[in-house]
């Protein structure tokens, strides 16, 4: 049984850039966003630089905090 998502890859650099743009649009610091979603500031920085991937639960928390789901994912 083949999945519809088979072969799809996430562009973590693009995702990180969109997260950073939304964070800045909301005038949030990395520290504040990290605190509100329960991760470290270093982790947010790594995500924004595309150096780390997000687990689904962390992605949902970040997107929900940033508000505009369409512009983030």
Q: Where is pLDDT greater, at 7 or 65?
A: 65
Q: How far apart are CA 28 and CA 26, in angstroms?
A: 5
pLDDT at 68: 63
Distance CA 69, CA 21 (A): 13
State pLDDT tens for residues 51-61. 999 999 999 99
Kindly state the percentage of the chain with pLDDT values over 90.
73
Claim: this prediction has a pTM higher than 0.95: no
Q: What is the pLDDT of residues 28-50, one digit of tens each?
A: 999 999 999 999 999 999 999 99
């Amino acid at each position: 049984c083949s999945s519809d998502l088979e072969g799809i890859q996430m562009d973590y650099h693009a995702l990180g850039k969109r997260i950073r743009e939304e964070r800045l649009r909301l005038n949030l610091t990395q520290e504040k966003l990290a605190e509100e979603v329960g991760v470290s500031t270093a982790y947010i920085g790594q995500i924004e630089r595309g150096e780390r991937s997000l687990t689904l639960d962390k992605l949902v928390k970040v997107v929900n905090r940033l508000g505009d789901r369409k512009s983030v994912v």
